[in-house]
Amino acid sequence: MAGTLSNLSRLWTIACTLGHNDALIPSEYLASMPMSLKLARWFFGGRRGKGGALAPGLRLARALESLGPAHIKLGQILATRPDLVGSNIATALEGLQDRLPSFSTEEARAVVAASFGRAVETLFATFGEPVAAASIAQVHEATTAEESPRRVAVKVLRPCVEAEFARDLSALAFAARISERLSAEARRLRVTALVETLATSVALELDLRMEAAAASELAERTRNEADFRVPAIDWSRTAERVLTTEWIDGISVRDVEVLRAAGHDPKKIALTLMRSFLTQALREGFFHADLHPGNLFVDGRGHLVAVDFGIMGRLDPLMRSFMAETLAGFLARDYVRVAQAHYGANFVPGRHPVETFAQALRAIGEPIFGRSAKDVSMAKLLQQLFDTTRRFDMQAQPQLLLLQKTMVVVEGVARSLDPEFDIWEASRPVVERWMLDRLGPEARLREAAEGMGALGRVAQHLPQLLRNAEVVSAMLADGGLRLHPDTVQQIAEAQLKGARYTRIAIWLAAGALGVIAMVWIA
């Protein structure tokens, strides 16, 4: 009972804050509102709204900022859900800032001392004032206390931030459960799952060891990337509420003229950003999901350096396979195939005809062909996809939503560096190589040769192998798949390095196919 009263009290505060900012039931819709909503708006303070000339999305962003860290994070997640809040509000929420006033250095030092059970001076020779403060933590520049001191960045959680999040997440979960009981639309939009996603994200962000592990994993997965790197983790000075990394002396990617003056090529940086992101997402299935300009720097050697690994995305193998089918279908302009991939993954309810869904996909894909790639915005394309999923009752897929949201941000950063940036041409070498790895006959044969389950996997993939080969052949014959020189070079290098392994895999798989053929003939 006490929990219910506490949740209701907090929800009252939230509703009144939204009402006072004219963000709960915006005045723009007043003329078409039923009397019940007009009364609710009046009850929660909409009559005293402070919206002024701001658009509804910006008023909502301002209200969420005033409600504190949990609601700032909620707003950032809502920015990935235009199907839930509409495209204009989602766009406004993308600019939601989580910069908050810093807390005192004395409090930060106390957190560090308590985390390690040692005086700060035994860990750091110097510990400066905060250089950046966000909703969850703030960062200090420091030098390590050792024989060869190193400059480091020390991230420290805000005091009592865990309790604040627990209070607000409980209230939001309570509201989500009630809304799903009362509204079919809330059930379709899975608002409870939305709050659960927020809670999971926050739980990870509130344990800085998890952020350290994410940074370490991404560094390991991208160690062969020539132009992208991740700051090294100082594990001996990292704990649940403290994270220490190497200090990055770099230029923010938002300072384009400063980059040029330092001898860096913004166009090359844009290319590196896009290809690094796609490599993380498609090849590794693990990507930095908060690549806004404040988290991207260029160091003295011209490397693109990412910081702040609190929000990471993962794509499981099944989701990447779905993406491969979807991408191959769009490239071949085979919209039925794309539709079938959605139905095969149970993303679209079976009550909608496949042909009708394919028709809707055609309306998305066809306008792209024949246009200059630099004139096609990924953000607008993704908005069309969101609208289509809503019409066909497709439930939101959190993995893809985070990927799509990050793609939009990356596109924006890349085009701020290079207004003529061609996202499709930049992406093509990475995507082509990934398609060949995932869809090519050699990949299927190599997969079939691995492990004791080879025969079963060959039988399972044989029909798809033939379909993929047919699609790739058709694209080649039509001139639609022209490998980028970078891709050709990567394929050649991979063949030289792995020729022996590939020959063995092909011979083993060919033998397996022969056995299957004899069984079928018998």
Question: How many helical (H) and strand (E) elements, i.e. helices and strands, does the chain have?
Answer: 22, 10
If we measure between CA atoms, which residue out of 205, 175, 217 comes closest to residue 192?
175
Helix intervals (H) in 206-311: 208-221, 256-261, 266-278
> Six-digit token pair at 352?
């909608």
DSSP letters of 8-26? HHHHHHHHHHHHHTT-SS-
Name the catalytic one among 22, 207, 290, 334. Answer: 290
The encoded tokens of residue 520 equal 């079928």
Which DSSP state fits 235?
Answer: G
Residue 302 to residue 325: CA distance in whole angstroms: 36
> How far from the centroid of its chain's Cα atoms is residue 373's Cα?
23
CA dihedral 283, 288, 294, 299 (to 10 degrees): -50
290 counts as catalytic: yes
* Contact in structure between 183 and 59 (CB atoms under 8 Å): no
Q: What are residue 332's phi and psi, to 5 degrees?
A: -85, -5
Quick count: other Cβ atoms within 10 Å of Cβ 316?
A: 10
- Which residues lie across from 304 on neighbouring strands? 228, 298
From CA 305, how far away is CA 338, in angstroms rounded?
A: 36
What does the angle CA 424 – CA 478 – CA 368 come to, to the nearest 5 degrees? 35
CA distances from 445 to 103, 328, 503, 505 (A): 58, 19, 10, 7
Catalytic positions are 290
